[in-house]
Amino acid sequence: MSAKGAGVPAPPGYRIRQELMDAERLARALARIAREIVERPHHAEGLVLVGVRTRGVPLARRLALLVGDAGLPPPPVGALDITLYRDDLTTVAPQPVLRGTEIPVSIDGRTVVLVDDVLYTGRTVRAALDEIIDFGRPARVKLAVLVDRGHRELPIRADYAGQTITTTRDEIVQVLLSEEDRQDRVLLLEKEPARPRPAAGPRARPPARPAARRPKGKRGRRA
């Protein structure tokens, strides 16, 4: 979980580099993903949204409401705890804390949209695919993420992405959602410099938000 970031505030040793989304942009990104889902004709029959714990679940719930607003019957929402399917469970992962998987309907023959906050190495999605297959045989599985930050280690891509950005590996994309974190915000965190700089000069400036790091694109399916 290291690179995906947890709650507020930023983990020790990291500071905010850039705000990728505020509440409004986050809402717009989700609305666009919902619209794109609705536009696919084969999704109309038997759509199931399955959020990957932790923050994929509230995102899936919001998407289900938005899909309902767009004219389709609101799809059922499930929650996937992929802990037991991690490829590093018995080697480097910390002791597992289980929050449980809940798939409320049979997924046989349905279109499952996996929902997660950040797409990074693709290993979480690999685990989620393996787990979902143990619940049945869906007609197809799609992937929706709020942020695609690159650095894939497996041949996996997002079908729907709220934002696609370029990052370095030692940065963290931190997604904050009101359901878990009391605010809607997506932040790019970077490592604190090793040594504090002398007190004079640029230290006094407000937290950096360099305009140079513009997100690369807004549409998904870019991987």
Partner 1 sequence: MSAYPHRHLLGIERLEPDEITSILDTAQGLREILDRPIKKVPALRGKTVVNLFYEPSTRTRASFEVAEKVLSADSLSIAAAASSVQKGETLLDTAKNLEAMNPDMIVIRHSAAGAPHFLARHCRAAIVNAGDGAHEHPTQALLDALTLRQRKGRIEGLRVAIVGDVLHSRVARSNVWLLSKLGARPVLCAPPTLVPPGIEALAPVTHRIDEAVEGADAVMMLRIQRERMTGGYYPSDREYHVRFGLTEERVKRAKRDVLILHPGPMNRGVEIASEVADGPYSVILDQVTNGVAVRMAVLLLLLGGTGEPS
Strands 185-191 and 172-176 turn out to be antiparallel
154 binds partner 1 (CB under 8 A): no
Among 71, 90, 200, 202, binds partner 1 (CB under 8 A): 90
Q: 17 or 55: whose CB is closer to partner 1?
A: 55
**Alpha carbon of 144 to those of 32, 67, 195, 214: distances in Å?**
11, 13, 39, 22
Q: 22 or 130: whose CB is closer to partner 1?
A: 130
Secondary structure letter of residue 22 according to DSSP? -
CB 198 within 8 A of CB 145: no
72 binds partner 1 (CB under 8 A): no
CB of 97 to partner 1, least distance (A): 6
CB 121 within 8 A of CB 57: no
CB of 180 to partner 1, least distance (A): 16
89 binds partner 1 (CB under 8 A): yes
Interface characters, 113-152, with partner 1 (x: CB under 8 A):
-----------------xx--xxx----------------
73 binds partner 1 (CB under 8 A): no
- Per CB under 8 A, the segment of 12-20, 86-94, 157-165, 205-213 that binds partner 1 is 86-94
7 binds partner 1 (CB under 8 A): no
User: Rounded distance, CA 31 to CA 162, Å?
Assistant: 9
96 binds partner 1 (CB under 8 A): yes
User: Rounded distance, CA 220 to CA 35, Å?
Assistant: 12
Angle at 32 between CA 213 and CA 178, to 5 degrees: 75
207 binds partner 1 (CB under 8 A): no
Q: What is the SS3 assignment for 106?
A: coil
Among 71, 91, 197, 200, binds partner 1 (CB under 8 A): 91
User: Rounded distance, CA 102 to CA 44, Å?
Assistant: 22
Query: Which residues would be at the binding site for partner 1 (CB under 8 A)?
Result: 81, 83-85, 89-102, 130-131, 134-136
